[in-house]
Structures are given as structure tokens and as C-alpha cells.
């Protein structure tokens, strides 16, 4: 998914052959990489989603040749099952809900933080950025397991909350293995992916614009909504995409923290591939997920652009 | 009562004093210019008036009301930034409408007033463009229209023409003068370009190292600099160091080493024996192959050392006795003649004693 709009296309005739060569030399390797490791696998997945599972798992061939000639063995069954079984609809909607909520919480949490970092003194700013990045130094799974301990029934957090609830005469709650734990985990792992693009955007804002807005009568509040926020929309879109798409397909976080109530579509896809070994069905599930992700981000980007125009 | 009054304003950054006990009164409808070299505190002073910054000491009054601590959005004072600071995500019309929107003016009225304001700055029909689609001069006009649309009491301009090329700068200077006269709003203009200050202002405050060192009309500041710094900073000035020998009224006789005794005038009290400089502007110096000095004229001789052809005038650097250099100007008034003298020519120089000002060291 491309986030930046990229350089405007220049007519090739105006480029020297050297410049053209340089352009291909520079863009060639990443394009090749994307084609081999992203585009082709996606196409294979798309094709596979119309197939039957193999006898020992994997795929049965989509077409084969024997004495009787060519045979094609496509089926729409995988998709029919997905669309007719309520379970999958519920799972998709739930994953969509989790992903949207994660994006929302991350945006609300990350925006003030990014703003503080972007407006801090330079030395201090680098320290704050470092603090955002530090969690990446330890393994993803370890960090999720850490949350398992934090949210566990024996941990101070659970005990504190349940003590308070007990005083109010409310039944004790279990934080772990709940939608709450999944939300917590998703927001926790996604937050840096919202902070960094937002910071990169906010840090470039010309402080004179804010002074001009104040000077022309805008309150601090109007300054934010009329100047800072509209100018930061590209950063918001970038951050939201980086958070939303992985959250939509998350499986490690719900697997570890979610228990049975926090299951997401990512877990089902994982199960289809690894446990049920019904690869075509897993492929169909993940193709729909991909389409959902593309659609949602497309709509968001379009709406944001419209929003800015209407604003101006 | 003055519209804007600054009382002993001081602003420090750490130990560095950027603005030092500045007191200033600016009248309604005045075009006032702060002129000074880079880093002398002009922008800092302007920011105190705009409200982006508050003085460590002193007060700022508008219409007699203390606004020292009033936030910028509640001061009827607008600023034109050197970078124009147009909102890049808003069209020209929305930029210009911004102050009215903030003041919650009705939509219909906003539309009418924005169209009117754009016409006033010759940008009619450009309302739907984005700032990045405008030239430097057009951006400048948008910034002006935006800052004037809600009729502030004071408009602050921080080197607004610095980014424009010479021709456009001259054109915009004329437009600014006309506009200021038209709207009658007090302008406080910051520049380090002395020509611009002289051309635009009703009054100039010359700043140096955080202080206002001289205040006055452009001609007064140019003709009668009070300090060596002002004489040197505004225009060019020949400065000859010497000691006061005799004084009769405003007339002095100065001993300049190597040149003997020269007559000068003083506008401040002077003591005999005091050291100082004799300041004389190049255009006040007569230069000719032979001069019979008139009564009351100072007369010197020298050799052309260098010449600078500027088109309309030629600047001659004349070497005096003792190796001192003096500049003189000659308009190229004779058709086709661009050189009256060659390097090495012997010339006579003369100026009226009133044109030579004694300045304290
Ligand atoms: N926020 C600040 N922190 C520390 N020092 C500052 C700050 N703002 C200004 N200064 C210092 O104060 C002095 C005056 O700055 P100011 O910007 O007012 O100069 P200026 O007269 O506008 O110069 P220029 O013509 O270059 O714009 C400078 O030496 C500058 O380094
Ligand atoms: Mg400045």
C-alpha cells in the first residue's frame, strides 16, 4: 500500500537516457522485490481460494492434464461457505471493530504525544523519540506475554480493580482472556506506528502558521482544528493505515491475550492453514480480509481528502 | 495620546539583552519604521507588540490600555510575517476570510468583504487558488489583505519585502505607502534596509544592540544623525576623526590630524578638547578640478584613488593628505559623459561647514 503520493510523473521524452537508467536502477530492485514477495504470492492466494484442499492438506491442483485432456477444478464453495455461515460474518465484523477501535484509541493517544514530542526542545525531542522506539528492542511475543502477566488475576492491577469492585458490591472481573485484554494488547503494539508518522508530519509544521492563526484571532482550540489538524491529515492517514491493517489481521495478540472470547479472524485463518490444513478456505478468508483492508483504507483516504477540501 | 505606547520594555534571553529599556510612542495613522542591523532586536520588539512574547520589564499600552499580558488573539494588532505564513491548506479566499471567521462574522458578509479585500489588493478572481499557486508578490498581497480585512488598529510588518526582487520590491513599496494612506491604519514596519525606511516612513526609530538610538523623521535622521553609528548605518558618510579646538555658537573648529583645522557644526553641547568625528555625506561634497572656495566653505585637495560607476551617479574615492579616503558623488548629468575624472587626477573638494556635523565618540 503506498502512502506517499510520490514524485509527479514527468514525460519520459524530457529525461535524458542516463536519468532514465538511474531511475530504473533505483526503482528496479524494490519493484522486483515487491513483485516476487508480495504480488505473486497474493495472486497465488487468490487462485488458491477457488480450489479444493489437498488430501494431505495444502491444495489439490486447480488444473491437470491426463489422457482425457485438460481438466479444471475450480469451486466457489469456499466463498459460499464464508458468506452463508454467520460465524464468519461475526468474526469479520468483530475484527473490523477491533481494528477500528485500535486505530481510534491509538489516534487519540498518539496525537497529543506526537505533538508534545514535535514541539519539545531538540535534545529532549530525541530522548522522547527514543522512548517510543525502545519497546522494539525486545521481542514482540515477549512483550505480549508480559501483558499476560500484567493482566493476570494475581497481578496488582487485577487485584486493585477487584478490590474496588468488591467494595462497591460488584462481582470480580477477569482482565485477562477478554476483549479488554485484546484491545489493550492491540493498542499497545500499534501505538508507535501511529506516533512515528504523526511526529514526522507535525515536526515539519511551520511554527509561524500557528502564530499567524493566533495573531488573526484564533483561540488555541481553533488553531488546532483549523491549522494543525488539517495539515496533519496525511500523517493521520499514514498512521491509521499502519495501525489498522495489521490490527485487522492480528492473530498473536488475540491468541495470547484473548482466550475464547477475544478470537479474531486472523486466528481462524491461522487455524485453517496450520490446524485444519484447509489451505483454500484459509486463502479465501484472507483474500476477503485483504479486500476489506484495502476498501477501508481507500474510503478513509478519500474521506480525509474530501474533508480537507470541504474545510478550506 | 499616542495610539501605541511602549514603556521601558526589556526582553532578555538568558544573559543576553535583546531589547533594552525601549520607550516609544506611535501615533494613530503613523507609518513607523524600526531600522537597525541584523540582530539588534527589531523582531523581538515587534513580537512584544504582537503579543507572541512578553517583556521581562516594562509595559505596552494600546489606546491607553495595558496590553502587556493580553494574548495575541485578543489584541487588535496583526502581523505580516516575512514568510507570509499563509495557510497552505486553505484557498486564497479562505485565508483572507480567516480573521472574520474567527470573529464569527456572518457568512454572507464574509463573502462580500473577502471579494472587496481581494479587489483592493488586485487579486480579484484568484480567490479559489491555493497559496502555492501564487507568485511571491501575490502571496504578499494575500497576507496584506488577510491582515487588514478586520481593520486592526496596528499592522506590524517584519521585513515583508525582503524576499522579493528589486523591481517588485520598489513596486510593493509604493503600494504599501498608498495602501497605508488609504486605510489609515498605523503601520509598524521592520527593516534593515535604510533606503526602504527612508522611502516609506513618517518616522524612523533607529535601533542598535537592543536600544532605540535615534528617533525622528527620515530627513532628520538622515541629515542630522546624532551618533556615529546612525551616520554610518544610514546612507554612506565620510567620517574624519578629530579634536575640538575652538567653538563659537554652533560653529566648531576641529583639528584633524594630517588635514589641519576644519570647520564643522554641532547640534549638541560640545566641550573644547573633546574628541569626536566630523561627518559629511558624499553628496554634500563638491568635487571639481578647481574650486574657489566660497566663504564658509571647507576646502581640501586630493587625488582620485578609485571610482565606482553606478549609472546615475559616479562615486569618487579621493585620497587626501595623510592617506585618508573621502567619498564624493557626481551625478552623470552631461549627456554621454560618464567620467569626469581619471584615477590619479588632482581634484579640489569643498563643502559647506553646516554640512559637516560633529558627532561625539
Ligand atoms: N528565542 C530566542 N532565544 C534566544 N535568543 C534570541 C531569541 N530570539 C532572539 N534572540 C536573540 O536576540 C537578538 C535579537 O534578535 P532579533 O530577531 O530581534 O533581531 P532582528 O533585529 O530582528 O534581526 P534580523 O534583522 O536579522 O531579523 C539576536 O541576537 C538573537 O540571537
Ligand atoms: Mg528580524
C-beta of B191 in contact with ligand 1 (< 6 A): no
Q: Which residues surround ligand 2, an ion (CB under 5 A)?
A: B 43
The reply to whether residue A208 touches residue B71, judged by beta carbons under 8 angstroms, is no
CATH topology for the B236-360 domain:
OB fold (Dihydrolipoamide Acetyltransferase, E2P) (2.40.50)
Residues of B in contact with A208 (CB under 8 A): 81, 83, 85
Domain ranges of chain A: 79-138+182-311
What integer pLDDT is reported at residue A307 of this predicted model? 67
Instruction: Calculate the average pLDDT of chain B.
Output: 91
The reply to whether residue A209 touches residue B73, judged by beta carbons under 8 angstroms, is no
Q: Are B19 and B41 in contact (CB under 8 A)?
A: yes
Complex ipTM > 0.90: no
Q: Are B186 and B3 in contact (CB under 8 A)?
A: yes
C-beta of B42 in contact with ligand 1 (< 6 A): yes
Q: Which residue has the cell 491555493?
A: B130
Pick from A217, A229, A234, A305 the residue to mutate for testing the B interface (most B CBs within 10 Å): A217
pLDDT-based confidence at residue A220 (cuts at 50, 70, 90) = very high
Domain ranges of chain B: 4-228, 236-360
Residues of B in contact with A212 (CB under 8 A): 79, 81, 85, 87
The reply to whether residue A208 touches residue B150, judged by beta carbons under 8 angstroms, is no
pLDDT of A2 above 50? no
The pLDDT tens digits of the residues spanning B275-315 come to 989 999 999 999 988 888 888 888 889 999 999 988 888 89
Residue among B87, B94, B99 minimizing CB distance to A209: B87
Nearest atom in ligand 1 to B190's CA: 22
CA of A126 to the centre of ligand 2 (A): 28
Q: With the CA atoms of A45, A46, A47 and A51 taken in that order, what torsion angle do they form, in degrees rounded to the nearest 10?
A: 80
Distance, CA of B118 to CA of B112 (rounded, Å): 10
What integer pLDDT is reported at residue A310 of this predicted model? 54
Q: Taking CA atoms, what residue in B is nearest to A233?
A: B89
What integer pLDDT is reported at residue B79 of this predicted model? 95
The pLDDT tens digits of the residues spanning A276-307 come to 888 999 999 999 999 999 998 888 888 877 76
The pLDDT tens digits of the residues spanning A132-186 come to 999 888 898 999 999 999 998 888 888 898 889 888 888 888 888 988 999 999 9
The reply to whether residue A212 touches residue B50, judged by beta carbons under 8 angstroms, is no
CATH number of the structural domain A79-138+182-311: 1.10.3720.10
Higher pLDDT, A203 or A66: A203
What integer pLDDT is reported at residue A15 of this predicted model? 63
pTM, to two decimals: 0.82
Domain B4-228, CATH homologous superfamily name and number: P-loop containing nucleotide triphosphate hydrolases (3.40.50.300)
Amino acid at each position: 500500500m503506498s502512502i506517499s503520493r510520490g514524485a509527479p510523473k514527468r514525460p519520459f521524452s524530457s529525461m535524458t537516457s542516463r536519468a532514465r537508467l538511474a531511475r530504473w536502477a533505483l526503482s528496479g530492485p524494490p519493484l522486483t522485490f515487491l513483485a516476487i514477495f508480495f504480488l505473486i504470492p497474493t495472486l497465488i492466494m487468490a487462485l488458491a481460494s477457488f480450489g479444493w484442499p489437498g488430501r494431505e492438506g495444502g491444495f489439490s491442483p486447480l488444473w491437470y492434464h491426463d489422457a482425457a485432456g485438460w481438466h479444471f477444478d475450480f469451486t466457489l464453495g469456499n466463498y459460499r461457505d464464508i458468506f452463508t455461515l454467520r460465524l464468519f460474518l461475526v468474526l469479520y465484523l468483530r475484527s473490523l471493530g477491533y481494528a477500528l477501535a485500535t486505530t481510534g484509541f491509538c489516534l487519540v493517544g498518539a496525537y497529543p504525544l506526537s505533538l508534545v514530542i514535535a514541539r519539545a526542545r531538540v535534545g529532549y525531542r530525541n530522548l522522547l523519540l527514543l522512548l517510543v522506539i525502545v519497546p522494539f528492542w525486545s521481542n514482540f511475543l515477549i512483550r505480549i506475554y508480559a501483558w499476560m502477566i500484567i493482566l493476570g488475576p494475581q497481578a496488582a492491577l487485577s487485584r486493585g480493580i477487584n478490590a474496588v469492585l468488591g467494595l462497591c458490591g460488584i462481582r470480580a472481573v477477569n482482565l485477562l482472556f477478554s476483549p479488554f485484554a485484546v484491545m489493550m494488547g492491540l493498542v499497545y503494539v500499534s501505538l508507535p506506528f501511529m506516533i512515528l508518522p504523526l511526529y514526522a508530519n507535525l515536526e515539519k509544521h511551520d511554527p509561524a502558521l500557528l502564530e499567524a492563526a493566533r495573531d488573526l484571532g484564533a483561540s488555541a482550540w481553533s488553531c488546532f482544528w483549523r491549522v494543525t489538524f488539517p495539515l496533519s491529515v496525511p500523517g493521520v492517514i499514514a498512521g491509521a493505515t499502519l495501525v489498522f491493517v495489521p490490527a485487522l489481521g492480528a492473530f498473536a495478540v488475540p491468541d495470547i491475550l484473548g482466550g475464547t472470547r477475544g478470537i479474531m479472524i486472523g486466528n481462524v485463518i491461522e487455524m485453517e492453514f496450520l490446524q485444519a490444513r484447509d489451505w483454500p478456505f484459509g486463502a479465501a478468508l484472507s483474500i476477503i480480509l485483504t479486500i476489506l483492508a484495502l476498501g477501508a483504507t481507500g474510503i478513509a483516504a478519500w474521506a480525509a481528502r474530501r474533508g480537507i477540501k470541504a474545510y478550506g | 495620546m499616542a495610539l501605541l505606547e511602549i514603556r521601558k520594555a526589556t526582553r532578555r534571553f538568558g544573559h543576553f539583552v535583546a531589547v533594552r529599556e525601549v520607550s516609544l510612542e506611535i501615533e494613530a495613522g503613523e507609518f513607523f519604521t524600526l531600522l537597525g542591523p541584523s540582530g539588534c532586536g527589531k523582531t523581538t520588539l515587534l513580537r512584544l507588540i504582537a503579543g507572541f512574547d512578553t517583556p521581562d520589564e516594562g509595559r505596552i499600552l494600546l489606546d491607553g490600555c495595558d496590553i502587556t499580558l493580553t494574548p495575541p488573539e485578543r489584541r487588535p494588532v496583526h502581523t505580516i510575517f516575512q514568510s507570509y505564513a499563509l495557510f497552505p491548506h486553505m484557498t486564497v479566499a479562505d485565508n483572507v476570510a480567516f480573521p472574520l471567521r474567527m470573529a464569527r462574522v456572518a457568512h454572507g458578509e464574509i463573502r462580500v468583504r473577502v471579494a472587496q479585500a481581494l479587489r483592493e489588493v488586485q487579486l480579484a478572481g484568484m480567490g479559489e487558488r491555493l497559496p502555492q499557486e501564487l507568485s511571491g508578490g501575490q502571496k504578499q498581497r494575500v497576507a496584506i489583505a488577510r491582515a487588514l480585512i478586520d481593520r486592526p488598529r496596528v499592522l506590524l510588518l517584519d521585513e515583508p519585502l525582503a524576499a522579493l526582487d528589486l523591481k517588485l520590491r520598489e513596486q510593493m513599496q509604493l503600494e504599501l505607502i498608498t495602501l497605508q494612506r488609504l486605510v489609515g491604519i498605523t503601520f509598524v514596519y521592520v527593516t534593515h534596509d535604510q533606503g526602504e525606511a527612508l522611502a516609506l516612513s513618517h518616522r524612523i526609530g533607529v535601533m542598535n544592540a537592543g536600544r532605540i538610538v535615534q528617533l525622528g523623521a527620515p530627513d532628520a535622521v538622515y541629515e542630522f544623525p546624532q551618533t556615529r553609528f546612525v551616520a554610518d548605518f544610514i546612507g554612506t558618510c565620510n567620517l574624519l576623526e578629530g579634536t575640538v579646538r575652538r567653538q563659537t555658537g554652533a560653529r566648531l573648529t576641529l583639528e584633524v590630524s594630517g588635514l589641519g583645522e576644519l570647520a564643522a557644526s554641532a547640534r549638541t553641547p560640545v566641550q573644547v578638547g573633546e574628541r569626536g568625528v566630523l561627518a559629511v555625506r558624499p553628496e554634500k561634497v563638491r568635487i571639481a578640478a578647481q574650486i574657489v572656495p566660497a566663504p564658509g566653505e571647507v576646502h581640501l585637495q586630493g587625488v582620485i584613488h578609485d571610482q565606482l560607476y553606478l549609472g546615475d551617479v559616479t562615486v569618487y574615492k579621493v585620497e587626501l593628505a595623510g592617506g585618508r579616503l573621502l567619498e564624493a558623488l557626481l551625478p552623470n548629468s552631461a549627456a554621454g559623459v560618464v567620467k569626469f575624472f581619471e584615477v590619479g587626477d588632482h581634484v579640489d573638494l569643498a563643502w559647506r561647514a553646516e554640512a559637516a556635523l560633529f558627532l561625539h565618540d
